Amino acid sequence: MRTYSEDGALSVFEPEMVQVIAQAYEECCVMLQVFAGDELGKQVIAVRVLELARSGILDAASLRDLTLRHLRIAA
């Protein structure tokens, strides 16, 4: 999976990491009660999970917990 950061830098994730990112994203959506119609909410979660993954955090639980902590503080 290829993603681009805000500065245009390309990030490429291996298939195993894509699964980890997807798991963290899905768990965050459930825990924050962000569902199908909330495109902005889903985008905010996705951006934060990807930022953390790019920074080297490689497990779903850490990605989830740090994303939740960040979004709850920001709210």
What is the rounded average pLDDT of the residues 8-33?
88
Q: What is the model's pLDDT at position 26?
A: 96
- State how far the Cα of 2 lies from the Cα of 39, in Å rounded to an integer: 20
Q: What is the mean pLDDT of the chain?
A: 88
Is the model's pLDDT at 20 over the cut of 90?
A: yes
Work out how many domains the chain is built from and give that number: 1
Alpha carbons 26 and 23: distance in angstroms, whole number? 5
Domain extent for 41: 2-74
pLDDT at 2 over 70: no
9: confidence class by pLDDT, cuts 50, 70, 90: low
Question: Structure pTM?
Answer: 0.83
